[in-house]
Structure 1
């Protein structure tokens, strides 16, 4: 098993990966490649990786412990806990709840400025969004929040507990679960993997110019861990420990639909993505920083969890090939492929064309020859350090009247899917891809 990993690392320009399997209560770990291309130090089972947005699952579990104890409630407005909480829309100010933060339906623009790196970072983030507008109306659709939603949630936790989010997670999760190799803060650990980016296959992976995310991303993306500790967290969803059964069930059963159901999964629960693999429910938690990536899939019907942590990439074909090899060996369902376009569909381009934008994101959908295209504009700094052009145009091939397959624009990219949906006055209101939602302007 996993004989293909060394070749895949070379093919996709990923320096190193550590893979863990939890099956029937037993953990198996395998490491490949190096944790830093400049030193050549090999990865091991103890290599510590940045897990990015997988952090959200830990934060959700910590919040649900407060729910289980009656200290917090999923549907009590945030303002009950944070009396000074305010955003631009008064109705959102008074009504947004922790459930809507957990499932990414709050719609608040991530307009929190620079809250600094001090211990009051979450309080400053909440104070800084007093004038933040809505990307979409509260509860109207799903739109992933990289940092802000879970920062507000963590600030509620801080006020309820009277201490920092870092301490709450450590005492309520990491210590009870024995996760000694997991941390909420960036630290100099000799076992830590170095992040890498790939500008071209010929050049190969290079060390990332940004070695960790700002502290503002803490509750939503700043944790570091090992595959064993990630699987220990996954065990909570398989064995039902740590939380009462009803509270744990609420995490997985409270779901909202995802406008683009193909790239990750058709629903979002409380801190987890919900996937449908050939009729079987699979839970997912993924993450990325600038140079490191994490994947976790939990298959309750097979008492199975698989994780892969990498210090570059990983490209989707790499992840799919490795996981499918493991899944097939264990008699579990494999990852569904993206759907094929429907060549019989004849769409009216006028319903889709236009500019979709929000701070830091700009898409233009056009139909120069009657066929839809999407042009993405990168910010100059991102384009510079990735070596990509600032504007990239992709073809859009219809899967349905709201969903499109978007082939890659370069050999370093993978196919994606895009939803263009919610038609008002004949024109779409939103574009949804990579779980992010962008409104028409």
Structure 2
């Protein structure tokens, strides 16, 4: 039994503590739904958030897109392991072998390795077609299938273009016709511009707890992120989507959405995540696979510019827990809220982060170097035998959040390849980092927050 009023009061305290304007929370347990909202959907107007408030779901969108793709697989219109070129004959990137071999499975589990160099595809209905055209010269971050490296927009945009060709409709229409309408959703949309402003949560950022949250200067992500990040939904509708996984392919209203075989494929086709501590040790098809004290839990999360979404599915308990906020993300906030709910349900709770091992005696030279991607740079260096990491922020981003553009952390080893990255900033939680895949005595990749960053050539030891 969920003690709603107690949890509501606790959430209200935590919203103040973390500088988050509102949260809508929902629990699906044994086919019964409990939902409530706390806080305001816009700090400027003070309008209260309700269970009918529509939030931006960010990368949780990928789970919705994956479900729609698996419908096409069920119908024989698409295949997980058929090369993308089977649907898009002109598809190509810089590496000819990748151009010929990349499949929807690579796109779904983030092992395609194609750099997000798709230029400006615009905001028109042909956006995903143009993204595919624009990556003809895109390089590889890593070889096809070599490691997991999260693709924020490109991978699922390519997948969406495959869906458009296979189904003969735009991605937005596919989502509406194949998911939103059959599921009976009344507050879910494929783009921010479709949401009634009277229902929409406003995104917020925070520079300091003293100042508090302020309205984000950007309303939403570009349309290029659509299949990977632009679904907007109520917490009730998120739980309805989750019910498909608890129901073996059928939703709460008994509507068949995908086959039981497709649910098994989505949950059991997995690749390892180099940093297993931030979210979970494996990535499936549109889902993260977590290990909570030996129990398998499926996760899907998302963030936009000032909004955040969390969903955890516990099939052994017939439970799904969702939370949508218009601030954050903060790992500590989500864990405190979810653990309150899970404890009430008598369910397994979220594991604590790993402990550092001070007995480890590592050779710093194996890790030192620059690891970067366009827009992101990490410098790993040693001082007095201890490893440190400097995160180099985009200057505009740093100014917006009132932060330095170079932030330094100490790396505390958990194992030979995994580290804790604690922060002195009260607005930042401890992060985890993997530095791994050694060649000629030096690590090739740095993986954090699910993103992979290759070592820059000839930059072994920055100062």
Superposition deviation, residue 267 in structure 1: 0.2
Cα distance per residue 1:309-342 (max 9 Å; x no partner): 0000142111111100110111110000110000
How far apart, CA to CA, are the structure 1 residues paired with 2:454 and 2:28? 40
Q: 1:124 aligns with which of 130, 150, 154?
A: 130
1:217 correspondence with 2:232: no
Structure 2 unaligned runs (5+)?
251-256, 457-463
1:4 correspondence with 2:4: no
How far apart, CA to CA, are the structure 2 residues paired with 1:358 and 1:289? 20
Q: Which residue of 2 aligns with 1:392?
A: 407
Q: Which residue of 1 aligns with 2:460?
A: none
Q: 1:360 aligns with which of 370, 375, 397?
A: 375
Cα distance per residue 1:93-143 (max 9 Å; x no partner): 000000000000000000001100000000000000000000000000000
Deviates more, 1:236-245 or 1:121-130: 236-245
Alignment of 1:151-300 (within 5 A): 151-187=157-193, 188-189=195-196, 190-240=198-248, 241=250, 242-300=257-315
Q: Is the 8 A contact 1:106 1:149 kept in 2?
A: yes
Superposition deviation, residue 16 in structure 1: 0.5
Superposition deviation, residue 409 in structure 1: 3.9
Which secondary structure state, in structure 2, belongs to the residue aligned with residue 176 of structure 1?
coil
Alpha-carbon RMSD: 0.7
Superposition deviation, residue 209 in structure 1: 0.7
Which secondary structure state, in structure 1, belongs to the residue aligned with residue 386 of structure 2?
coil
How far apart, CA to CA, are the structure 2 residues paired with 1:4 and 1:83? 55
Alignment of 1:40-119 (within 5 A): 40-119=46-125
How far apart, CA to CA, are the structure 2 residues paired with 1:409 and 1:173? 44
How far apart, CA to CA, are the structure 1 residues paired with 2:395 and 2:33? 44
Cα distance per residue 1:27-61 (max 9 Å; x no partner): 10011010000000001010000000000000000
How far apart, CA to CA, are the structure 2 residues paired with 1:311 and 1:406? 26
Which secondary structure state, in structure 1, belongs to the residue aligned with residue 130 of structure 2?
helix
Q: Is the 8 A contact 2:303 2:329 kept in 1?
A: no
Q: Is the 8 A contact 1:275 1:282 kept in 2?
A: yes
How far apart, CA to CA, are the structure 2 residues paired with 1:428 and 1:167? 44
How far apart, CA to CA, are the structure 2 residues paired with 1:274 and 1:93? 28
Superposition deviation, residue 180 in structure 1: 2.0
Which secondary structure state, in structure 2, belongs to the residue aligned with residue 154 of structure 1?
helix
1:339 correspondence with 2:354: yes
Q: Which residue of 1 aligns with 2:33?
A: 27
How far apart, CA to CA, are the structure 1 residues paired with 2:144 and 2:299? 25
Q: 1:379 aligns with which of 394, 402, 417?
A: 394
Cα distance per residue 1:400-419 (max 9 Å; x no partner): 00000010241110001000
Deviates more, 1:171-180 or 1:257-266: 171-180
Q: Is the 8 A contact 1:393 1:409 kept in 2?
A: no
How far apart, CA to CA, are the structure 2 residues paired with 1:371 and 1:128? 43
Q: 2:431 aligns with which of 404, 416, 425?
A: 416
Q: Which residue of 1 aligns with 2:150?
A: 144
Cα distance per residue 1:148-203 (max 9 Å; x no partner): 00000000000111110000011011111111210001125111000000011111
How far apart, CA to CA, are the structure 2 residues paired with 1:276 and 1:317? 18
How far apart, CA to CA, are the structure 1 residues paired with 2:166 and 2:308? 32
How far apart, CA to CA, are the structure 1 residues paired with 2:155 and 2:233? 22
How far apart, CA to CA, are the structure 1 residues paired with 2:64 and 2:149? 20
How far apart, CA to CA, are the structure 2 residues paired with 1:179 and 1:227? 11
Which secondary structure state, in structure 1, belongs to the residue aligned with residue 13 of structure 2?
helix
Structure 1 unaligned runs (5+)?
none
